Structure 1
Amino acid sequence: MKKLLVTLTTGILLIFAIMIVSQYNTDQSLATGKNNAYKQQSLNNANFEDIKQLVKEEKQTELSHETIVELTDKFMQTLVQEIDGDNKIIHYQTKEELIQAFEKITTKEVALPYVEYYYQEKQDGLYIVPTETPPWFQKENNYERTRLDGNIVEISQQNQTDLYGNYMINIQFKKINNQWKIVKISHVDS
């Protein structure tokens, strides 16, 4: 009888031990599952944050319509300077000063032909040559945008004016030192 009692007690203890180990394993599995779910959620959040950052960086490198309008307007405002009654430029004395003003929105290579064509430097200052402004970008008209390379974007626009008739203007923009600038301008009569 004593042997039977020891066997029953041992069996009950063994069953109890199996139940405890089984419960422990279940708890561990749940904890691991929760931990894995937490890790997966963290990974998903990290991926989402990474994606948001990439989108933000892409938007910063994207040339917006507003930037195109701002740069083309500033180009024309710089080209058409305020003058006195004798066509003398009020704010700049030399072509070099005017070219430096252009360099905020374009390169020297782009500005130079415009300054050479539209301005005459005399001993007493800088004078505008009376003529029409060049065929130019019309912000209210549609245009095509083409990415030529990672940081060069070209816009092409077909326009019509009484003075120039039908023409196509192409303007290339490049991000230089984290700032968009006009790097090439061309127009063709249609």
Structure 2
Amino acid sequence: MRYYATSFLIVMLAIFASPSPLTESSVMKETSFAEQSAQAEEVSLTKAKALQLSQEFINKLQTKTDSQYRVKDYSSKSELIKDVRHVASKQMASDYVNGLFEEKKGKLYVVPTDLPPWVEKGQNFELKKLSESSYHLVQHNKSDLYGEYSITLGFEKVNSHWVITFASIS
């Protein structure tokens, strides 16, 4: 009798100690749903995020300089490109940095010119979804310097975060 009682206790402990199929599948469904929600959030680009990235990009190009136009926070184009790459593709960052900055005697200088036309904060714009990992921001603007223009920014999901891949002005 003792043998049966001990065996019964061991079997009962094994049953109750291991997760039940119902509990395990419920947890799996919850995790799966949570993971799907997180993935959906990561995939979708919001208007707020697109505007934030466009402003970060142009702000990084408006670096502090001294009276001789020498950049204070960066010593080379490659250093600035590396920083801009947090919000833009390598090609986009290189194109803008190479067009707006020059290196002389181991120092980085701003080429004295106006910044190109850009997304105007506070103005309406459209965010067009092309695919799960590709969007276009389109804004129509008017300025004294550039007149009427439209800007289109391309956004792509690269290595799990959004970056600007191109800017087109017409």
What is the TM-score when the length of structure 1 is the normalising length? 0.69
**Higher helix fraction: Structure 1 or Structure 2?**
1
Deviates more, 1:76-85 or 1:64-73: 64-73
Task: Report the equivalent of 1:85.
Answer: 67
Cα distance in 2 for partners of 1:101, 1:52 equals 32
Task: Report the equivalent of 1:161.
Answer: 143
Q: Percent identity?
A: 29
SS in 2 for 1:173: strand
Q: Are the structure 2 counterparts of residues 83 and 150 from structure 1 closer, same or farther at C-alpha, using a change threshold of 3 Å?
A: same
Task: Report the equivalent of 1:139.
Answer: 121
Does residue 76 in structure 1 map to residue 58 in structure 2? yes
Match of 1:120 among 69, 80, 102: 102
Cα distance in 2 for partners of 1:92, 1:59 equals 34
- Cα shift at 1:147: 1.7
Task: Report the equivalent of 2:87.
Answer: 105
Cα distance in 1 for partners of 2:32, 2:80 equals 44
Task: Report the equivalent of 1:11.
Answer: none
Cα distance in 1 for partners of 2:105, 2:99 equals 18
Deviates more, 1:140-149 or 1:106-115: 140-149
Cα distance in 2 for partners of 1:52, 1:142 equals 33
Match of 2:48 among 50, 56, 66: 66
SS in 1 for 2:64: coil
Contact 2:139 2:151 in 1 (8 A): yes
SS in 1 for 2:116: coil
Structure number with greater CO (CA < 8 Å, separation at least 6) is: 2
Cα distance in 1 for partners of 2:47, 2:121 equals 9
Computing the radius of gyration from Cα coordinates, the structure with the larger value is 1
Contact 2:129 2:136 in 1 (8 A): yes
- Structure 2: state its 5+ residue gaps: 1-21, 23-27
What is the TM-score when the length of structure 2 is the normalising length? 0.77
Deviation digits for residues 146-189 of structure 1 (CA, Å, limit 9, x no counterpart) = 2222201111111111111110100011111111111111111x
Task: Report the equivalent of 2:10.
Answer: none
- Cα shift at 1:122: 0.2
For this pair of structures, how many residues does the alignment match?
A: 147
- Structure 1: state its 5+ residue gaps: 1-38, 40-45
